[in-house]
Each structure stands twice: as C-alpha cells, then as structure tokens.
Structure 1
Amino acid sequence: MNRVLAEIDYKNIFKYFEEISAIPRGSGNMQAISAYLVNFAKEHNIEYIQDEVLNVIMIKEATSGYENAPSVILQGHMDMVCEKESWCNHDFEKEGLELVIDGDYIRANGTTLGGDDGVAVAYALAILSDNTLKHPRLEVIITTDEETGMDGIIGLDTTNLKAKYMLNLDSEDEGVILCSSAGGLGGTVTLPLQYEDVVDGEGILSIAISELQGGHSGAEIHKNRTNANVMLGRILMQLGKSKEYALADMQGGNKHNAIPREAVAKIVVAAACIEEIKKKVEDIAEDIKKELLASEPDAKVEVTICKDSIGKKIKKECTDKIIYMLVTAPYGVLVMSSDIEGLVESSVNMGILRVVNDKMEFHYSVRSSINSYKHYVSDRLALLAKSIGADYLMDGEYPAWEYRKESKFRDLLTDVFKKQYNYEPVVTAIHAGLECGIISEKMEDLDIVAIGPDMADIHTPKERLCISSTKRVYDYVIAVLEAIL
C-alpha cells in the first residue's frame, strides 16, 4: 500500500488511520473493517470479542502500578457516512478512500473522509499497540452502524465490562469536553403516487440544485445551511402559483443525518410554454439565491429542457401533496436551549426524498435533548402525513445522554487539560447524537465524557481532519490515562 500519510505519522495514529481508510466501511458494510479489527487484536495478542452485529471489544489489562485504578472504556464507531461530489466515480462498496494531505489537514479526493469516526479507531489502535504507555485496564469498544441508527451500540452486550469511566472519541472540536448530547429518532412519510400518461404537446424540464454546503444534520443544523430538498419544494411551490406543471420524478439527499446538498426534479409542462416556464423557474431561483448570498454563496440551480422520453407523470393531486409536505413540514432549528447558551435543543432534518415502488418517501431525522419534545415533533410529522393520505413510520429512536452534576472523570479531564494547554476547556453539550446515551442506559454508573480533535464539514465531501490537532488530542488522551490512579 502506498502510504500517503507516512510523512506526517505520529505515534502510529496516521498509520492506522490510513489502513482503515483503505477498507470500505460505509454504514451497513461492516464485515471487512470488523474483521480487520479482529486481526489486529490477534496480531497483538489482545483479548477480543466480536459480537453478532460485528461490534469489536478489545481488552488490555492494566500496566504495572495501575492494577487498582478504575477501568476505562475508549469508545468510537467504525462506520462512516458515504457522500461524494457529483463528478466523483468512487465506489464506496468496493474502494478505499483516496487520502490527500492539504496543509495542516487530511481530506479525501471527492468524498467524505471518515474522520468521523475513523480517528477514534486510529487512536484506540495506536494506544493498544504501544506497550510503553501507562494506563489502567482498557476496554476498547468499536461499534457498527452508528451513523444509520446506532444499531451496533444498541446490540452491545456490556455484561463482561468492568469500566467505571468512558472516554467517547466521537467529537470534532479540540478544547471542548462534552458531557451531554441529544437523543433522536427517524421518521418516514410514505405517499402512494397516482400517475397518468404524458400526452403529445408536453415537454420535460429538469430543475437541479447543487453546490450547497450540506453538513451534519445535528452538529451543523444551526449554521443556516440550506436544505436542497426544502429549497426545491419552495421553487416548485412558487412556480405553481402562476404556471401549470406535473411532477415526473423528484429526489434529493441520500443520508438522513446529512443536510442535503443536491436535489433534482423533472416536471412535465406544455411544450408550447416550455421556454417561458424555464425562464420563470430561473427567475424564482435567482431570487432565492440572492437571499442565500451570505450562507450559500456557491448555490447553483440549473434548469434544462430534457430530451428524455417519459411515459407517465404524477397526477396533480399527488404533486400538490408532495409540495405541501416539503414546504409545511418542520425543518431546521426548532428550539434553542434555555440552559446552555448557543446550544440547539430540538431540530429536524429532511434528509432523503425519493420515489420507491410508485411511492414518494420523505425521510426525516429528529433530534432533541428533551424526550417529550422529540416525540412531539414526530407526532407533527405523523399528523401532516395523515392530512395528505400518507403513512408514517417512526424508527431508529435513541436516548439523549443526560448531564451528570457530579463527574469525577469530567473533573479529571478538566485538570489534565489545563496542565497540557494552559487554559480552561469548554465543558458543554452537543446537539448531535452520540452513543453515550445508549451505553449509559446499559451501564448506569458509568461516568462518561466525549472529546475529539478538530474536524470540519463532516458528512460532506469537504470533510477534513486537522493533523496538528489530532496529535495534540492523542497526547491529551495518553495524559488522561496516566492520570487515572
């Protein structure tokens, strides 16, 4: 393997990051990466468990002098969100990532990087392979399918775990110690579609939105980033006020937990008016783009006359219902926290829009640190679905990770941080969902905090991992382990 990261390697962190980056590990494709972790454990004579859902637990006993220290879980997930640029032909099912060093950052060519949460895996392997370190008993937990519903951590058996502390390594801001995170659920609205034939004298227009920033639907939902699906619904609503059309097809986004960057619709219009309607859509799009100059400076809307032959179109009644759902369903930040300044309390993201088996599917990701409000938002989606004759299914629910008023582990991390960095860390909560809430329900007395190095634009092809921050945070983790006595 041609080691792109060899020149920047530090204590084997980037060696292992590059090795796992060579393995396809999108959510749902966990066999190879799970097997890699098992082979690592075997090669290093480390006790391991691989369970039915392919989670891997690796246990390394305490070093001399730490036999009576509280055991520590190091935890992260092995899967990654697979997003790519429209020009990129990368096959996430079969191909490893093409890593690029870009100044003080690592990125991937045209795709997501998988720093979320590959850096946790790299940290854990670097620690486990280094026999010079001082540490208490380590229980390393690397879970599967975190990004698509936390199935791995839900299926984890914690019976044989002894840890009193857990360090989750799934955060993206150096200098921030997380102590709470939102819970969430998925909601899917399914609308049966009725069609009619396209007749002579009708033409097809394609409306394609691209070049939006996108981002993590929890960690970046407050950054005023435009959802391509919602924007497309707005354009079509505006068009319908003065022009007649029918939908032929519509799709956008492919991950419930990523803000969609792209969406496209094909509409059927009278051929005699096609140029006029094309101009109307372009005018509507220009007005919206002017609104977005500060938040989405690269937004692109392309309107083209299609030469494709389409035999059927969605009936107007169904077209109206689709647009109604897109523009009236709750979206974005719904409530800000009253307890922590600047923290989002509740939000919803319309992540995936697609036609499957003559049904339009709307996939939503709901997040909230308040369980009752999370269900309230889900109930609103269900009520909207009912109003248009659609079905609603709630799934993938996971609990919030609740704040502990007293935390010896949090205090220890704060003290070690001040010694290493010479300033106070930020101790706060995050709106993104973490696995901490689920494992805290399984191990009620477990004292948990979450940290991580600087990353940007996760869940997008612009994702990047800061090299210098990754090194500093690794040294911080080692210092924390040494301080546990």
Structure 2
Amino acid sequence: MYNRLEDLIQHPVFHYFSEISKIPRCSGNEKAISDYLVQFGKERNLEVKQDEALNVIIKKPASPGYENVPPVIIQGHMDMVCEKNKGTIHDFRKDPIQLRVIEEMLYATNTTLGADNGIAVAYALALLDSKEVPHPSLEVVITTEEETTMGGALALNPADFEGKILINLDSEEDHKLLVSSAGGIKATMILPIIWDDAPKNVSAYCIGVRGLKGGHSGISINKGRGNSNKIMGRILEDLSGEFPYFLQQINGGSATNAIPRETDAIILVSRDSIKKLESKIDEWNDILRNELKTSDPEVHICLDSVKHDLSKVFSEETKQKAITSLMLIPNGIQSMSMEMEGLVESSTNLGVITTFETELHFESDSRSSIKSLKDALVKKARLIAETLGCKLFTDSEYPEWPYNPDSKIRKVFEKVFKEKHGTDIEIIAVHAGIECGILIDKIPGLDAISIGPDMYNVHTPNEHLSIPSTINNWEYFLSVLKEMKFFDR
C-alpha cells in the first residue's frame, strides 16, 4: 500500500509524524517540539497554553451537532527515548530521525524511531488540523519527560481541563483496549569511589557486552532478554576468582526504562594474566550463547586492548562493592499477577551504570500494579545500599492506574469495535507506566482508556511501527469520536 516514504507521508498522520521526526525531542530536550506545537495551534486559531514544564494544551471547539457532548481529553507525550547503535553517527540534539519504509513497517535508521509516543502527537495534530472529522470539544494535552520522570504530567494543573473523559494514545497494541497500568519509581544507588595508584607493568582492556536486543523495561521484561549490566557483574565476579585484576570504570545502559543492551568495563591486568583473561571471555561467550540462545542469540562479549589512563584504579574495597552491587541489585520479574494471566505484577530493571569522578551510580526502574509491592522493592534496594555503605535516592514516582469496572468510555470503544469487526475487543492491562494514573489522581471522576497501533522493540534502535495498524487504529479512533454524539453522560 505504501512502499515508499514519499507516498506514506501523504497520509495526514504520517505527514505529521514525519514533521515531528525532524525536531529534537529526547526527554529533557523538548523546547523545540513544544514550541512547534504552540505555533501549530496558533496558526489554526485554536486556544493554546504552554506551561512551565513545556506541556502544551490545545483546545478545539465541538463540531456542529456535538455541542452538548461532554468534552474529551486527548493525551500523549512529546518526548522519546533516544537510543542508537554503537558507532552510529547521530546527534539527537539536532539531527532529524531518518525514516525508512520496509515492507509494511516504518523504521528509523540505526536509532529509535520515536513512535513511542510520537504517533500520539501525529494523531492529535491530524485531528486538530482536520475540518471534516466530527468530534466533541477537544482538550489535547501533549506532555513532556514521560520517558524519564513523568514530570510533565505531574506538573499539569487540573484547573486547565473541563473534560472528565480521557483517551490516552500511548498504548502499543492494536485491537486491544488498555484499561490499567503499573506505577513506578526510579532508585539510584550511589557508591563512593576510593581511588588507588595503579600498579606498574599492567595493560588496559575493555570488556564489552554486545548484541543484546534490549527493549522497554516494562513491556519487554517478561521476554527473558539479557541485561548487559547484570551480565557484566557476573563476568567481573567470575574473573575475581581466577586472577588479580584492577577495575577502572563501568558504564552501561542509557535509560532506566530500557533494558540495557551494552555495557563496558575497563580493567587493568598484568601481562601474564592476559591469556587467562582471553580464555575466560571465550568461556563466557559459550555460557551466554547457551543461556540466551532463544531470547538473545546475537549476544557476545568482546575484549579489546585499549589505550587508557594507567595512573588510577578503584581500590580493592570499591571494586568488590561494585561487583557485589551488580550481583545483588534486584533485576527482572519480581512477581506475577494472580488476577490476570500472563501479566507481570512487579519488576525492576537495573538500567544504567555510570562511573563519575568520585562515585558510581546504579540506576534502577521499579514498577508494580500494587503500591505496597513497589514500596517493598524500594525497601530492599535501601537495605542493599546500607549494607554496602552506599546512599539511595528515589525520584520520578508515579501512581498505578487501577481498573475501572464501570467505565463508560470503555463501553463506547467496545461497541464501535464490535460493529467494525464483528468480534469483541481484547481488554488488557500493561506492566508499564502510563500517564493515565497521574491524570486520574489530578482530576476526580476521570474516566480513562488507552489505545494505540502495533509497535515493536520500542526503546531500541530496532523500534518499528506497523503502517496498516497505525491507519486502522486511526480510523477506529475517529469512529469512536463520531459515536460519542450518543454518549450517555
């Protein structure tokens, strides 16, 4: 149907997706895209507000015949996770995303695509621009920093909204209605570094974990994919029992809400230990290829001699605490739901490790659909930190979105789907953070639902978006808005 990008962007949704893909919008760098949205609204003589958090609210009056229908809040986020393949020359601060069509999928080129959640922005802009789509009065809100702190949604002023119906566009599965999501919190454990003088007659080597698929730390946490930070901890712990070595730095991952794909450790070894080191790396390649042969068949450990500062290394105490941290910090599924088959109930992801001048930071993203379990994960992390003489800081906490059995907007979506397809739509919950929970906390009585097209491998450079699903979901969305003329208050 659309074999070329030039043809695809003739569709209004993909036209606007292409436009916003030219604008930098990594989490924390949303000023340009926020200003673009403001200008878009003003050019169409719509009511526009940009708040201090750079959230943008654009209001559009109801179509003729829809004046008495309750207003609807349409919501998504403007920021994206910015990941690229190692060696890719791309500056997310200024370079546009390079889109490409492969069969029926839209990809970027060696970077994340940003369909999460650029597709919501594209849907919203196409809707606001249309003069033909019938709809109730619309309150479109596009938030910032969803992928990092949820700071945009947390900063929203509920007084800016009249609507009590929320359609969130941040789901990633077509033909499904998202009705509940997990809450989350970020925890950072800080290990002070004690530096020692490096011994003489040593060589520097970089151990690198490569070839992992990664993925969204909530949605993909049940796929059994390797975590490069945890793998590095196992390797360094194993080497400690084989020969002496000195640790100089560990760095891995780029976002707490993405399963880390690559981690590097710089170690110094004496010349007579190099053969043993090479042998152990070969062993670990065999171990990991066996363990991850289904989930991550391309995993491999590389070992490279590097030119590096040979003057300082971690003290032995710091080295052992760093390795112990990597081994003990919880990671992966912690519990499964007994109410909804296959749903992860709680999890944690050791997403980022960074070596600074005086500290090592271990950043984890914990999620749960039950607040008490989320709190328990933080308590466990705090106990580990205290045992190792570290500090633990938490931030970016956001609430879970509980299922509402009496949702009226869900019934509208169910009715329209049944009429279009002749079957019942699947009702799902997701182990990921959706801003619905925050808005429900802020706006009493808010009735929420979330939809979206099929996306794959989000938060990775292999992220791709189904073109037919995007169009199908768009048409479904418009059909629901049209049906709302008969919405029962």
Which TM-score band applies after superposition, normalised by the shorter structure? over 0.9
Give yes or no for contact 1:235–1:285 (8 Å, CA) kept in 2.
Answer: no
- Between the aligned partners of 2:19 and 2:288, the Cα distance in structure 1 is 44
Q: Which amino acid counterpart does residue 348 of structure 2 have in structure 1?
A: V
- Between the aligned partners of 1:359 and 1:268, the Cα distance in structure 2 is 19
**Match in the other structure for 2:281:** 281
**Match in the other structure for 1:63:** 63
**Match in the other structure for 1:298:** 298
**Match in the other structure for 1:211:** 211
- Between the aligned partners of 2:35 and 2:87, the Cα distance in structure 1 is 31
Moved more, 235-244 or 410-419: 235-244
**Match in the other structure for 2:139:** 139
Alignment size in residue pairs: 482
2:448 counterpart of 1:448: yes
Q: TM-score normalized by structure 2? A: 0.97
Give yes or no for contact 1:186–1:396 (8 Å, CA) kept in 2.
Answer: yes
Show CA shifts across 1:222-265 (max 9, x none).
11111000001011111112222121111100101000000010
User: Structure 1: any 5+ residue segments left out of the alignment?
Assistant: none
Give yes or no for contact 1:178–1:430 (8 Å, CA) kept in 2.
Answer: yes
Give yes or no for contact 1:216–1:459 (8 Å, CA) kept in 2.
Answer: yes
Q: Which amino acid counterpart does residue 170 of structure 1 have in structure 2?
A: D
- Between the aligned partners of 1:412 and 1:346, the Cα distance in structure 2 is 31
Moved more, 5-14 or 215-224: 5-14
Structure 1 residue 202, shift from structure 2 partner: 1.7
Give yes or no for contact 1:239–1:281 (8 Å, CA) kept in 2.
Answer: no
Q: Which amino acid counterpart does residue 133 of structure 2 have in structure 1?
A: L
Question: C-alpha root-mean-square deviation of aligned residues, in Å?
Answer: 1.1
Change (3 A) 1:411 1:453: same
- Secondary structure (helix, strand or coil) at the match of 1:484 reads helix
**Match in the other structure for 1:471:** 471
Q: TM-score normalized by structure 1? A: 0.98
Give yes or no for contact 2:225–2:292 (8 Å, CA) kept in 1.
Answer: no
- Between the aligned partners of 1:353 and 1:70, the Cα distance in structure 2 is 47
- Secondary structure (helix, strand or coil) at the match of 2:24 reads coil
- Secondary structure (helix, strand or coil) at the match of 2:111 reads coil
Structure 1 residue 294, shift from structure 2 partner: 1.1
Q: Which amino acid counterpart does residue 243 of structure 2 have in structure 1?
A: K
- Between the aligned partners of 1:426 and 1:12, the Cα distance in structure 2 is 28
**Match in the other structure for 1:257:** 257
Structure 1 residue 10, shift from structure 2 partner: 5.8
- Secondary structure (helix, strand or coil) at the match of 1:159 reads helix
**Match in the other structure for 1:24:** 24
Structure 1 residue 128, shift from structure 2 partner: 0.8
**Match in the other structure for 2:168:** 168
**Match in the other structure for 1:459:** 459
Change (3 A) 1:391 1:16: same
Give yes or no for contact 2:9–2:18 (8 Å, CA) kept in 1.
Answer: no
Show CA shifts across 1:80-125 (max 9, x none).
0000000211000111111111111111101000000000000001
- Between the aligned partners of 1:236 and 1:329, the Cα distance in structure 2 is 15
- Secondary structure (helix, strand or coil) at the match of 2:62 reads coil
Q: Which amino acid counterpart does residue 372 of structure 1 have in structure 2?
A: S
Change (3 A) 1:317 1:40: same
Q: Which amino acid counterpart does residue 480 of structure 1 have in structure 2?
A: V
**Match in the other structure for 1:420:** 420
- Between the aligned partners of 1:35 and 1:411, the Cα distance in structure 2 is 36
**Match in the other structure for 1:379:** 379
- Between the aligned partners of 2:314 and 2:45, the Cα distance in structure 1 is 60
- Between the aligned partners of 1:59 and 1:5, the Cα distance in structure 2 is 31
Q: Which amino acid counterpart does residue 107 of structure 1 have in structure 2?
A: Y
Structure 1 residue 33, shift from structure 2 partner: 0.2
Structure 1 residue 6, shift from structure 2 partner: 3.4
User: Structure 2: any 5+ residue segments left out of the alignment?
Assistant: none
Structure 1 residue 306, shift from structure 2 partner: 2.7
Structure 1 residue 268, shift from structure 2 partner: 1.6
- Between the aligned partners of 1:205 and 1:11, the Cα distance in structure 2 is 51
Moved more, 182-191 or 243-252: 243-252
Give yes or no for contact 1:5–1:18 (8 Å, CA) kept in 2.
Answer: no
Show CA shifts across 1:379-425 (max 9, x none).
10111011111110011100001111101100110111111222221
Give yes or no for contact 1:10–1:471 (8 Å, CA) kept in 2.
Answer: no
Extract structure 1 runs of 4+ deviating beyond 3 A: none
**Match in the other structure for 1:411:** 411
**Match in the other structure for 2:181:** 181
Q: Which amino acid counterpart does residue 62 of structure 2 have in structure 1?
A: A
